[in-house]
Amino acid sequence: MKNVLVIYYSQSGQLKEIADQISLPFRKDEQVKVDFLPIEMQRSFPFPWDNDSFFGAFPETFQQIPSEIIPPNEAIFQTTYDLVLFHYQVWYLTPSIPINSFLKSEYAKVLLNNVPVITISGSRNMWAFAQEKMKKLLNDVNAHLVGNIALTDRNINLISVLTIVDWMFHGKKRKAYGFLPLPGVSDQEIKDSEKFGDIILPFLKQNNYNNLQKTLVANGAVEFRWFLISMDKKANKMFTIWSKIIRKNPQKRSFLLKCFKVYLFCAIWGLSPIVHLIEFILYPIRYFSIRKQKEYFQGV
């Protein structure tokens, strides 16, 4: 009997749907026992978001400052797991506060110690450097990363900004303004994600994850958009500056968060198209380095 733990935190329900689909082949198999661990916070985050909560979460999210979580069910700790499917959201180019809080808790040190882990993210599109942060968090609790699945909103970058914002602040997965595409990971892609469970299952039974990631990537598990890597890297540098300034000036926090909101608007609608254009122009020159980036970020 193999034991699998499915960990997730989901506000909208999208990541829970993904977790259900990917774990389906395991739950159908009589030789596999599956447990679910939803991460819950002592102070929950709203969905849909309100303006103050959304921007107010930025400094602590990016600086990876943990908050108190509700202790997991004691029964979880009575089982030794052969594999963990770890589903996470990306907030501000960083694993969300609930995910960060869990991974920095004593619970994670117990549950994930020396256990193979497959990370599964559902994000708008910029997941690459959040995954780098996940690698460090997992390493800190002695978990073994053996696979990664990065599911994204495949719409055009700026279109997805409009649709995701509408979803986050209204709470409904709908066509924004009546004609834009649905936000988030597509329903069909969520449904099809069951195939990743089918791929992972034999590796679990063999207790050997060599070539798992290559097999996942060959089946569309990791979407890579080369121009977003540069945006992600540059945005991380700017977010570092902003988050430190806001944290160091608590008396001016409200004002500084408003300034950050203006900066974010300008960066998305003014700077990101320029960066995209520059990256497009430089693509022939950077072709081989982009290939190396793709190989790296699609690996573990």
pLDDT digits (tens, 9 = 90+) for 13-69: 999 999 999 999 999 999 999 999 999 999 999 999 999 999 999 999 999 999 999
pLDDT at 115 (0 to 100): 98
Whole-number Å distance between alpha carbons of 40 and 43:
9
Question: In this structure, are 127 and 252 located in the same domain?
Answer: no
Task: Tell me the residue range of the domain where 77 lies.
Answer: 2-225
208 pLDDT band, cuts 50/70/90, is very high
What pLDDT is stored for residue 157 in this prediction?
Answer: 85
End residue of a domain, out of 182, 202, 225: 225
Last residue of a domain, one of 199, 225, 251: 225
Same domain for 184 and 109: yes
Mean predicted lDDT score pLDDT of the chain: 94
Side-chain-facing half-sphere of 7: CA atoms under 13 Å: 24
**Same-domain check for residues 279 and 174:** no
- Identify whether residues 147 and 38 lie together within a single domain: yes
Considering 177, 209, 225, which residue would you say is the last residue of a domain? 225
- Say if residue 231's pLDDT is above 90: no
Residues with Cβ within 8 Å of 154's Cβ and at least 6 positions away in sequence, in order, are 186, 189, 223
**pLDDT of 113:** 97
Closest residue by Cα to residue 49 from 178, 153, 222, 169:
169
Instruction: Report the range of poorest mean pLDDT among 86-95, 128-137, 156-165, 232-241.
Output: 156-165
pTM: 0.93
Is 179 found in the same domain as 74? yes
Judge if 53 and 165 occupy the same domain. Answer: yes
At 206 the pLDDT is 94
Same domain, 83 and 215: yes
194, 252: one domain: no
Residues 145 and 215 occupy one common structural domain = yes
Domain count, the chain: 2
Same domain, yes or no: 175 and 232? no
CATH of the domain at 221: 3.40.50.360
